[in-house]
């Protein structure tokens, strides 16, 4: 496993991180989840990402229970705050009240004294950014979080937060967690440049486009019955990808991976993401150890300029596909 600095911070995280969205505490049994987390840790993954809203805290409990077998300083633990955790008017958002209360709740569920990375899960237009950043800065000073970041913030929102933090002499944000994969590349236009200019690393989620970039789904064919796409409870984020125009290009990418590099499409997709200098880690999900084994090998793949050019040519066709 290779490790990269999280933005301009001194903390290093594994190029492949393990997430818990739509899996742990929800669609994957707890004992299996713990086995997968242990497998990840034993194979060099040190970056584990979760959120309070994932199954209303159940994912945090599973992740915390699994990581309790290891020395606290041997892994990097990340969680998030923003989405509703109750029915009250203050049970959501990025107010000082919600941030402080949810940080305490997350620490209890995770069974730790601090989290390494605390992330604003979305931007809150109802709370002044100064209030949000000052609350996070206080948590850093109290030792309850070591670093903070954001998720799915626009370039303008990130730039504004950077300015406020500098103006008020607050600890700076170190990361952004956006969706990023071969099919969804909006961050390349302005989010990545603004982030790189301000020492903010990308820890990207959905690098395999919810499994589309594994080659499991074929144009004109029904989705496999045992696949995520067949699960109505968790496939709501996949439907944008399940059209024949997209799947035709995915087949071309799979042929390139197999015939020219002798690797799986998922490994090509991850290696393509990791080629970007602004990316600190790609967060994968796994429902069984074999999936994780495939993903881990992506860190060993090096893409030549010729192969990268072929990939770009295929992806150019996707610019005309509405996702």
The upper half-sphere exposure of residue 38, i.e. CA atoms within 13 Å in the direction of its Cβ, equals 10
Question: Of the residues 3, 24, 41, 54, which is catalytic?
Answer: 54
Tokens 């796994």 belong to: 286
Task: Name residues whose C-beta falls within 8 Å of residue 260's C-beta, 6 or more positions apart in sequence.
Answer: 307, 310
**What's the rounded Cα separation, in Å, for the pair 18 and 35?**
13
Concerning whether 148 is annotated as a catalytic residue, the answer is: no
Round to whole Å and give the CA distance between 216 and 264: 11
Are 270 and 284 in contact by the 8 Å Cβ rule? The answer is yes
Structural Rg of the chain based on CA atoms: 19
**Most distant CA atoms of the chain, gap in Å:** 56
54-71: b (≥16 Cβ within 10 Å) or e: bbebbbbbbbbbbbeeee
Short-list 70, 4, 11, 12, CA closest to 42 = 70
Query: How many other CB atoms are found less than 10 A from the CB of residue 258?
Result: 14
Residues designated catalytic: 54
């Amino acid at each position: 496993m290779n490790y990269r600095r999280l933005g301009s911070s001194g903390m290093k995280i594994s190029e492949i991180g393990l997430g818990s969205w739509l899996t742990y505490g929800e669609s994957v049994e707890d004992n299996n989840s713990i086995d997968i987390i242990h497998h990840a840790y034993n194979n060099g993954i040190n970056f584990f990402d979760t959120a309070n809203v994932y199954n209303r805290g159940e994912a945090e409990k599973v992740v915390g229970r699994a990581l309790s077998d290891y020395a606290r300083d041997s892994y990097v633990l990340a969680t998030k705050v923003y989405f509703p955790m109750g029915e009250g008017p203050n049970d959501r958002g990025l107010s000082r009240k919600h941030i402080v209360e949810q940080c305490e709740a997350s620490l209890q569920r995770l069974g730790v004294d601090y989290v390494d990375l605390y992330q604003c899960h979305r931007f809150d237009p109802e709370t002044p950014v100064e209030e949000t950043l000052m609350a996070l800065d206080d948590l850093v000073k109290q030792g309850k979080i070591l670093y903070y970041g954001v998720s799915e913030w626009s370039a303008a929102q990130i730039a504004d937060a950077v300015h406020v933090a500098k103006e008020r002499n607050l600890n700076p944000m170190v990361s952004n967690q956006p969706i990023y994969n071969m099919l969804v590349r909006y961050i390349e236009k302005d989010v990545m440049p603004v982030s790189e200019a301000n020492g903010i690393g990308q820890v990207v989620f959905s690098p395999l486009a919810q499994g589309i970039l594994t080659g499991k789904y074929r144009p004109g064919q029904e989705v496999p019955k045992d696949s995520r796409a067949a699960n109505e409870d968790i496939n709501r984020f996949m439907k944008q990808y399940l059209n024949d125009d997209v799947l035709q290009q995915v087949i071309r990418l799979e042929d390139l991976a197999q015939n020219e590099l002798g690797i799986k499409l998922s490994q090509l997709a991850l290696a393509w993401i990791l080629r970007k200098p602004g990316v600190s880690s790609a967060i994968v999900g796994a429902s069984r150890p074999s999936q994780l084994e495939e993903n881990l090998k992506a860190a060993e793949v090096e893409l030549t300029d010729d192969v990268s050019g072929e990939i770009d040519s295929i992806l150019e066709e996707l610019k005309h596909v509405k996702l």
